[in-house]
């Protein structure tokens, strides 16, 4: 489950209510493409904006539509007791694994982050993915903290926030992490523009934003890299550079929602306010990229 392409679908809203019908279509699109796993309620899945009942409904819908494809469910929240309840809900919904980022309001020290993972992993019946997402959590993981957390029970994989651009440096970075963690714990790359480099450098899995909306596009990269055709993975990622550029300019979250809207998969205004969708100008640019880069799958 912690190899290949893990696709992170958007949780679209319609008039501030989760659009379960559109969500089902998104999930079935991932199933049809043959992604290796689906991660519901990641950052792209707006987990931090949804309340407990909404998150339970999204997790349940993901599992129902995913068929035999394993579903991981994001359980991050600010308070440990809330995370524990969300972990219970995710497992009851049929999640095959859970994903946990140490989200913060008050800044957390390493012992506090470790304590969160210790408290949560202790009671799990499914594996856990450690979600290192400094851009949204404002937590910086040291390799020492990776090592402490990876030694906890039920930890299966670490979602790292990227790798160096240089292939040799990227490989050294992945090796350095692996040297600190048990061999049973995998390493997955996120930051879509770094995915080909990360997989070529030895990551097991790509935790992919774009994979949730454009699964075939993402699978071309993950399958090439993991079958050893590093050059093809790199070439395909380089072909998508204009997409990575708009990710950098507007944020992958807003751009991916816009692509879903442009493809008619989700209704307009699908993001949780106060987050705005792209401006008309940016949306026009993204719509042109969808055509120019042949991003309809």
The answer to the question of residue 116 lying near its own copies (CB under 8 A) is yes
131 an active-site residue?
A: yes
Least Å distance, CB 83 to its own copies, is 8
SS3 sequence of 166-230:
CHHHHHHHHHHHHHHCCCCCEEEECCHHHHHHHHHCCCCEEEECHHHCCHHHHHHHHHHHHCCCH
Site for its own copies in 260-279 (CB under 8 A): 272-276
Peptide bond into 274 cis (omega under 30): yes
Touching its own copies, residues 170-199 (CB under 8 A): none
Q: How many CB atoms lie within 10 A of CB 181?
A: 21
From the candidates 23, 47, 146, 159, give the one annotated as an active-site residue. 159
Q: Find out whether 234 is annotated in a ligand binding site.
A: no
Confirm or reject binding of residue 109 to its own copies (CB under 8 A): yes
190 CA to centre of own chain: 7
Q: By CB under 8 A, tell whether 131 contacts its own copies.
A: no
Binders of its own copies among residues 214 to 253 (CB under 8 A) are 251, 253
Interface pick for its own copies out of 34, 67, 135, 153 (rule CB under 8 A): 135
> Which is catalytic among the residues 23, 47, 131, 253?
131
**Phi, psi angles (nearest 5°) of residue 93:** -75, -10
Which residue number, 79 or 296, has a Cβ lying nearer to its own copies? 79
Q: φ, ψ for residue 151 (rounded to 5)?
A: -80, -5
* Known catalytic residue at 159: yes
The residues near 264 (Cβ < 8 Å, ≥ 6 apart) are none
Among 28, 92, 111, 169, binds its own copies (CB under 8 A): 111
Least spacing, CB of residue 230 vs its own copies, in Å = 32
Distance CA 243, CA 207 (A): 17
154 near its own copies, judged by CB under 8 A: no
Instruction: Return the number of other C-beta atoms located less than 10 Å from residue 78's C-beta.
Output: 12
Q: Which residues bind its own copies (CB under 8 A)?
A: 16, 43, 48-49, 51, 78-82, 102-103, 105-109, 111-113, 115-116, 119, 135-136, 138, 251, 253-254, 272-276
Annotated binding site for pyruvate: 44
């Amino acid at each position: 489950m912690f190899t290949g392409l893990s696709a992170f679908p958007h949780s679209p809203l319609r008039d501030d209510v989760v659009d379960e019908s559109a969500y089902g279509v998104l999930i079935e699109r991932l199933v049809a493409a043959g992604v290796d796993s689906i991660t519901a309620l990641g950052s792209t899945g707006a987990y931090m904006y949804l309340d407990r009942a909404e998150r339970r409904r999204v997790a349940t819908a993901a599992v129902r539509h995913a068929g035999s494809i394993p579903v991981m469910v994001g359980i991050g929240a600010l308070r440990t007791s809330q995370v524990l309840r969300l972990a219970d809900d995710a497992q009851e919904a049929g999640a095959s694994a859970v994903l946990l980022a140490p989200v913060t309001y008050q800044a957390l020290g390493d012992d506090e982050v470790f304590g969160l993972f210790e408290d949560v992993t202790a009671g799990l019946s499914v594996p856990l993915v450690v979600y290192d997402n400094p851009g949204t959590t404002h937590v910086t993981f040291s390799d020492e903290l990776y090592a402490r957390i990876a030694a906890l029970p039920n930890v299966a994989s670490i979602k790292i926030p990227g790798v160096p651009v240089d292939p040799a440096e990227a490989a050294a970075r992945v090796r350095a992490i692996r040297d600190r963690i048990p061999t049973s714990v995998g390493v997955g790359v996120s930051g879509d523009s770094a995915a080909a480099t990360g997989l070529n450098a030895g990551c097991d899995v790509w935790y992919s934003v774009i994979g949730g909306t454009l699964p075939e596009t993402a699978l071309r990269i993950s399958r090439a890299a993991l079958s050893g055709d590093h050059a093809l993975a790199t070439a395909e990622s380089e072909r998508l550079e204009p997409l990575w550029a708009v990710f950098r300019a507007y944020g992958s979250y807003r751009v991916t929602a816009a692509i879903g809207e442009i493809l008619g998969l989700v209704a307009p205004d699908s993001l949780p306010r106060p987050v705005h969708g792209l401006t008309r100008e940016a949306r026009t640019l993204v719509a042109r990229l969808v055509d120019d880069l042949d991003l309809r799958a």
